[in-house]
Structure formats: structure tokens, C-alpha cells
Chains A and B, each alone.
Chain A
Amino acid sequence: MADQQFNPSILGFLCNWCCYAAADAAGVSRFQYPPSMRTVRVMCTGRIDPAFVLRAFVEGADGIFSGG
């Protein structure tokens, strides 16, 4: 294990108006970033129930990204 690179599995909750837009902008400007995050679009990070975060850890997430 020690010689293997740590490749985290990250779940991201992205606000439609800012962070999701920023992810679009990153795409339009072709910024390259590691493909280790999966995303859930929400209309606002206010929607994120703490239970969602706990649930994601249960499902095997190594980290949670909340962008709003």
C-alpha cells in the first residue's frame, strides 16, 4: 500500500449559481484537475443536510467538497 499513490474518492456538492458555474468556467478555460471528484448539483449549499455528508462517508467517500 505504501508505494501506491493515494487516489481519494471525493464527493462534491456544488451550488448551481457559483461553484457549479465555476466548474463550468474551469471547463471552458480548460483548467486541468485530477479526476477524483464526483459531483451532486444543488441549487444552493444551504440544501446540504449534514446527514448527506455522513451518508457519503458511509458510502466510502474519503472527502467531501462543498462549494458555494
Chain B
Amino acid sequence: MLTNADFLALEGTAGNFTATINLRPRYIDADACTACGLCTQYCPKHHVDPYNEGLAITRPIHIDYAQAVPATYYIDPSSCLFLQHETCQICVPVCQSHAINFKQQPEERKLNIGAVILSPGFGKIDPKTLAKFSYGKHPDVVTSFEYERMTTASGPFMGEVKCFSDGRHPKRMAFIQCVGSRDIGCNNGYCSSVCCMYAIKEALVTKEHDPEVDITIYYMDIRTQGKDFDAARERAEAIGVKFVRAKVADVTPWENHLQLTYATLDGQHKFEPFDLVVLSVGLESPKDAQKIADITKIDLNKYDFCATDSFNPLQTSQQGIVVAGAFQGPKDIPESVTQSSAAASLAAASLKAVRGKGVEMKIYPEEQVVAADDEVRIGVFVCHCGINISSVVDCAAVANYAGDMKNVTFYTENLYSCSQDAQEVIKKKIKEHKLNRVVIAACSPRTHEPLFQETLRDAGLNRNLFEMVNIRDQCSWVHAGEPELATIKSKDLVRMAVAKARLIQPLPEQTVPVTAKALVIGAGVAGMTAALNLAEQGFDSVLIEKGDGIGGNLQNLHYTLAGDAVQSHLKTLVDKVKQSKKVDVLCNAELVQTAGFIGNFASVIASGKGKARVEQTVDHGVIIVATGGREHRPDKYLLGKSKKVVTQQELEKQLAGKAKTRAPGSIVMIQCAGSRGDDLNYCSKVCCNHALKNILKVKEINPDSQIVVLYRDMRTYGFAEDAYLEARKMGVVFIPYEVDLKPEVTEKGAKVQVRFFDSIMQEEVTMSPDLVALSVGIVPDDTDTLSKLLKLPVTANKFFLEAHVKLRPVELSVSGVYVCGLAHGPKPVDETIVQAQAAAAKAAIPLVKGYVKVDPIVSSVEQDKCIGCGLCVSLCPYGAIVMQKVDGKRKAETISASCKACGICAAHCPTFAISMGGFTNEQINSQIEAFGATGDR
């Protein structure tokens, strides 16, 4: 990790680049700094804090936030008195660990690398663009980034929302969307794709703080096209956030208040007073985009983002250099995360030959032997979590209370137990006091247990000699008004944890080998891309397809919005798959049964037609689910009843054909036909772009064609906004309709009639177009069967549910199973390809390692006590217990890698022969006993 580093030059070619990096001095020795913060306290100079968007003052010597990595302070030379004027140097003697070093010089480094991933993020909109909304003129006009810091509990105002003008709590707030986006005035014609979501989030958070605040969001289109995002908009509406479709002309200061002038669709000008106005500012290309392009010789698009194409969405114009995140185009967190994994898989594939040569495995110190009869020495660490815990719970009292308990040899408090410096303290104390059990009273083990267990391993302790007490999520946060009772509860929980800690024992770390082969289900673009990427990384896969041939939905598409020819790309892809020696394709195939676990699956696959149908068993280590989706065909708007009503996909086919009349003279398009609360409860994401793609094609063939689009929100996010603008320039008419006032399509003789309410003219209109094209949305192909077969959860809309929507977007809840493409949710082809590459990256991880670790919390059978009744075998929901003959007697045995730690076996064993690692009967009973021992708190 090289921070404070500038990228200066890049030479060489793919596989053998030399990068020149300049490391700017921190003026603080990273190894010596303990992040104690004393220097910041003593530093006399003020420094505007960019981390807090300039809303707070810090000092030139500081750290951005407590959990920063690396946890080393730094001196900002722009305002340091010594570095500017050679005076002061107060910090030097203040620092107890002598970490401050003004002699540090910039250091130039040359890195020899095989591949480059560009992920420089995004830039911010120039304040000049914001000036027309009185930004900079009136203190109560803030950007969404500033507002984000205002609502943050650990931010400069501890989450309290106030007007800067006079400190009052705002009663009326407005969000203005598309500031610096969809605005050719500032040369940002594209849509930033994230602002609608964060505005809704910030509105929801504000309402949570103060339900009385009146919030209005002024928008052109609400673009919540992501998976399950529409639901959040509905939630916001349900709790009273107002959405007004209007263009805001300006914001005028009006004493301490602000007046908004806006124009609604029907041409009316209106005024509205507000206390606080938040500008939903867009994402720009990074400031140094041009510099990066100059150094790397990659091409940029007209908005200075990295130029890529639909079928190679992450490949820059230079071999060996790939892009990920917002630099490829504005995008949200899950899509950035997906792109990063995908970029990793591309880099990994290009460097397959040298895989593993540059890495050193992390070596842990040898594990200290902790025998059952060793003296128990417990260390208790109570975390303040900044003020998240300590503002409610009396942490000192809790720590002191723990200190009085039997076997507690050491106790202390930490400001942030999770910070890097606190980790060092914990390691030091473990060694110093010969601790052999650690109890940390902080936040949730669900998020932080792995981090602390790593600390234990670093200190030479088995990671299971650890117990966590959740005094934040279960005490300070939920009993904020009752500090005394929250403190008592914290003490009780600590007492119970210490009681359990006395009995915990080290658990062995186990690993099982992996079959280095993947099963990919579904041979559409997602499945094919994933299988090919795995092949490029050096792994075999079996690609099964239920249809007669491979290709999937791409077979129905002919061109993209960017104008790429789909069929030629598809042919290349199909040929590659067929020629690859590492991809075994089975058509007319389905999964019959799967047994096993990550690394060791055995699946029965039936393939072939009629008499040729055969079943075979395939051993594989991972599964990629790419079962796809299809066009939804709603039973409305005369679809299937009138020849003049077609879907966008049918129109596309017609346009790609040769018929003279393929681009009719008048077309009405109806968006959300079936989506967004009609038949389907969600937005299908691709339909607006699909409509535009067809519009441009129609106009190309027949420029005189008159097209009317009836829509709810045009969701041409990202660079597709350009096409939307182009269509409007060509005279295509876009008219929004309300969900309770849907257009009607009727047949009159040989004609079709469309009747709708024109919200611009404010009157009902009837048209008789030559053709009605419906944007119909996407449904997943059967997910039920696979969901049952592999025990995979699906969403209410029958798409597969990922393990974590933000941070693990292509993993499913069952280890070793990954998802991509339409089976995950509706998405266009470029996003599908990225997701498939990401799934391949995740799937390759266990294949590369060659082994998987088994979580130590598994059941174990004490065979002496087992009477062979088999109750556990019949109860285990995961098939993780088998009966075996041991010396002629039936005995139960756990398959550790299949065990999910539910403990049903242990709870039901009539002879108490089964124990759960980390959750033994003795341990749980000790907690219950300590629960009752309230007398000594």
C-alpha cells in the first residue's frame, strides 16, 4: 500500500510495465506513530478539514478519521507553520514516540508490474456550476456531500442537522436533483446514476432524525433502476417525502430563508420557501483524468471518463490496463465492487503464467498451546467507539466491574478497539499479561469478530479463545435515554461473556482440498463469459444449457445503444467457447442433483434429448449460476391480440430485417408495460435504453417517423442520457404518465388507438399510430428449482439474492456458489459481462488456493458416548452427519466441511455425545448461570 503517492510515469508493455511513483513525505514516521493524537491537540494552526467537506476545522497535523488505514497521522504541508514559514515545531517534542520527522524527503519508486487497474474514482462538480442555486452566497445551501457529513453520527455535528445561518433546526428542506448532471451548460450531459439514490437515502435519514421535517425532492426523472431500489423510493413516499417533477430555475436568499423558483411540466412557475436546500451534485470524471490518460495513453470519452465498449466494458484502449469503478462511468457502490472483482479477474487472466510468484503468505507466529487445565487469564477490552458507546454507557465503570471478576487478569478501555493502534495495544497486552482468553466489549461480532480474531492469531493465540460483547448495537444505541440501565445491561453482558470465556477452548483450524473445476449453469452471455474467463485463468468448467444451443438472450438482440453489432460479437463468443479445451458444453442439460460443499461438489447432470438423454456425475469445486431471464409478456395493451402491438424486442428484430416498411411512420411507445408495480413489482432497468435504441434506429431508417414515448421516469442513466437528448432533438415526443392514469390501447377496425392524458398540454389525447411498441420488462427464468436444489434464497421477485447487496454482490449465501446476469436482476449486456467476470474472479479464489478453510465452529461427536441411535442424522438439515461402523458398532460422525454450526444435533442428542465448537453445553450453561448472578454487579 503506497499512500500519499503520485503516479508519474508508465513505460513498457502488457506483462512488463515499469511505473514511476512519487511518495510525498508524511513528515511522520509511520512505524513509530501510535495514532495517539497528542500532536493534533498541541498544533496551534487551524486547517480546514477536507474529510469533513470543509465543515470542520482540524490541524495541519492530523488523521482523517479514527479508522483510517494506515493509522498514521500526517502533516499537510499547505498549512504547517514549519513547512511554510520554518517556525513552530511544537509537535516535535510533544510526540512521545519521536515519530515526527521534518527531514523526510519525497521518494521516487519504480514498480515493475504486469498489469494496471485504474480506479481513481470520480471528481466533484465545480462550485461555479452551483452558484446559480446561491451556493456560496447563502450558508444554508449545501451540497449533498456536505449534507452527508452533517447527518453522520461521527461527523462534525454528531448527526445534528442545523442551518448554518442561525443554528436553527430546519423545518422545510428541499433537495434539487441533477445539479451538474444532465446539464449541457456545464458540459456534463450524462446522468450521474447515483444522486437519486443518495438523495432518497439522505431524506430517509433526515426523517429518522426528525419525522416532522417537511422534505421535497425536485427532480426530472427518479432513476432508481437498481435491484430493489424502487422499493426505497416508495418507502420514502410512504413516510411523507414529497417528490415534485420540476426544473428548479434558481434559489434566492430571503433573509435567513431561501426561495426556490421552479417550473412544473404544465409550464407553471411556482415559488416555495425553504430553510435548507441540498444540491444533489453529480459525479465528474476525476480531476487528473487527462493526466492519467497522458501517462497511460488510454483513450477518454467526450466527458473525460475512460473509454470502453459494451462487450469489453473494462478494457481500456491499452493492453494490460483495465479500469474499474466510477472512472469507467458514474456508478454506485455495488457496481463498483462488481467491476473491481471483474478487473481483478482480467488482470489475473493476463498474468496467469506468473501467478503466485510474487506473493508471500502471511505467516502467523506459532500458536501458543493452551491446555484445558492451564490457568485462565482473561483480558477485557471495553470500546468507546468514539462516543457511540461512551456517550450512553459508562465504559470506565464497565471495565472496572470486569476487572473485579475472577480470572480477569487485565482490563482497559479503547477509544476505537477496531483501529490499527488499538489492535497493537491488544497484541501487546496479550503478551505482557500472558492472556489466554480475550473478551472485547464493543460492537457486533457479526461485523468485527474476524478482525479481532486476526489480532489474536497475530499475538499467537488460537482465534477461538475470544468472546465479543455487543454493548453498542444492544446497549448504547437502543437504550440511549436510559444510560444507567444501559450500563447495568453492559455489565451483565460482560459478566456472561467472562463466564463463557473461562470455559472456551482452542479449536483446530481445518482445511479441505478443492476440485479445481467449475460448474456453470446457463450458456447465455453471462455463463459463456464466466466460463471463458475461468479458462483464461487456467480452470476447467462444465457449461450446461437447458436449450438446444448456446447464446441465450443475445440471440434476440441485434445492435446496442452505442451502435455495436451484437450478432458478430455473439458469434465470436460462441466460437471461443466451442473451441476452448477448458470448457465442456452440455446442451439440453439440467442439474438433477447436487451433493457436497464448497471445493467438493458432486452434481448429477442429465443431458441430451429423448433416447440420447444420459445422466452423468461431475465433480467440481464451485458453481456459477447464470440461468438468465426472458422478456415478460403482459396480458394487456392488446399484446398478442393485435398485429400492431409489439414488444421492443420484436421491433428490434423487425428493424434489423430488410422489410421496406420496417420503420413505420408513426409509433407510440409505452414504457413500464408490466414493470414497476404493474405485473412486476420492480424496474427492469433496460427498457428505457431499449426504447431509445429502437427510436434512434427508426429515425436512422425513416427520419420522418413520428414517435411518442409515454413513460413514468426515463431511466437513461449514465452516458445513455446522450441518446435521450439526441432523440428529443430529433423531435421525438416524451410524455410522462401517472401510475394511476395509464394509457389505454384499443382496437378500432384495422387500427389501434392509444388514449392517454397529456400532462404537458393537460388534456386527453387519442392517437392512431401505425405501431405500438411496449417496453415490457424482464422476468427471471425458473429460479425455483435451482433454489430448492442448491438451497439458495431468492428475492420476493424471484431473482437470486446475493450474500450482501453492497459488498458481496456476486456471491450467494451458500459458500462456493456465485451468480451473474439476469438471474441476479435485470441489467444490460455490459453490466452482465462485468458481473460474469466478477463471478469468475470470486469462483477462481478457492480454485487457485486449492483448499478451503472450514470454520472451526462445527459439531463433533464423542464416540464413546454415542449410542448410534441416528437421531442426529435424521435431524441434520445439511446432511452433515453420517453413521459409520466403528468396531462393529454404529457411530455418528460429522462431515466438518458440510456442517453449518446450527447445533440441532447437539441440542437433541440423548446422551450429550455431540458438542458444538465454541457453543458447548457447559459454555452456554455458564452464561445462563452468570445471567442469574445479578447480585454481584
**Chain A interfacial positions (CB closer than 8 Å to B):** 9, 11, 16, 20-21, 23-24, 26-33, 35, 38-44, 46-52, 55-56, 58-61
Contacts and interface: CB of A to CB of B under 8 A. Distances in A.
Nearest to A60: B932
B493 A39 contact: yes
Interface string B583-614: 00000000000000000000000000000000
Contact of B479 (A16, A32, A43, A61): A32
B906 A47 contact: yes
A41 B477 CA distance: 18
Contacts of A42: 903, 919, 924
B928 interface: yes
Contacts of A56: 928, 931-932
B489 A35 contact: yes
B789 interface: no
Contacts of B901: 43-44
Nearest to B487: A35
Which of B473, B478, B906: most chain A Cβ within 10 A?
B478
Contacts of B470: 23-24, 27, 39
A47 B478 contact: no
B193 to A, nearest CB: 26
Contacts of B300: none
B489 A49 contact: no
A24 B857 contact: no
A43 B916 contact: yes
The 6 A-B pairs at the shortest CB distance, nearest first, are namely A59-B932, A47-B903, A27-B473, A46-B904, A44-B902, A27-B477
Nearest to A47: B903
Given A40-B928, A47-B903, A48-B907, A32 B481 contact: yes
8 contacts: A23-B470, A23-B474, A24-B446, A27-B473, A30-B477, A33-B479, A49-B907, A50-B907
Nearest to B474: A23
Contacts of B161: none
Contacts of A24: 444, 446-447, 470, 473
A60 B933 CA distance: 9
A38 B493 CA distance: 7
B511 interface: no
B472 A55 contact: no
Contacts of A38: 489, 492-493, 496, 931
Interface in B886-937: 900-904, 906-907, 916, 919, 921, 924-925, 927-929, 931-934
Contacts of B928: 11, 40, 52, 55-56, 59
A66 to B, nearest CB: 12
B370 interface: no
A47 B919 contact: yes
Contacts of B902: 43-44, 46-47
Q: Is the interface on chain B under 10, 10 to 19, 20 to 34, or 35 or more residues?
A: 35 or more
A30 B208 contact: yes
A61 B473 contact: no
A35 B479 contact: yes
A32 B480 contact: yes
Contact of A43 (B857, B927, B929): B857
B399 interface: no
Contacts of B924: 40, 42, 47, 49, 52
A41 B445 contact: yes
Contacts of A32: 478-481
A51 B652 CA distance: 66
Nearest to A10: B931
B213 to A, nearest CB: 16
A27 B925 CA distance: 27
B932 A61 contact: yes
Given A27-B477, A40-B927, A49 B921 contact: yes
Contacts of B446: 16, 20-21, 24
Contact of A31 (B475, B478, B488, B900): B478
Interface in B448-491: 470, 472-475, 477-482, 485-486, 488-489
A28 to B, nearest CB: 7
A1 to B, nearest CB: 18
Nearest to B906: A47
A47 B916 contact: yes
A35 B477 contact: no
Given A32-B478, A59-B929, A43 B489 contact: no
B209 to A, nearest CB: 9
A51 B912 CA distance: 12
A12 to B, nearest CB: 10
A23 B486 contact: no
Given A26-B478, A30-B480, A35 B485 contact: yes
B916 A28 contact: no
Contacts of A48: 903, 907
B238 to A, nearest CB: 16
A23 B482 CA distance: 18
A55 B924 CA distance: 10
B444 to A, nearest CB: 5
Contact of A30 (B447, B478, B931, B933): B478
Given A38-B931, A40-B928, A46 B473 contact: no
A29 B473 contact: no
Contacts of A43: 857, 900-903, 916, 919
Which of B445, B447, B489, B902: most chain A Cβ within 10 A?
B902
A44 B904 contact: yes
Given A24-B444, A43-B903, A52-B928, 14 more contacts: A20-B444, A24-B447, A24-B473, A26-B473, A30-B208, A30-B478, A32-B478, A39-B474, A42-B903, A44-B904, A46-B903, A55-B929, A56-B928, A60-B934
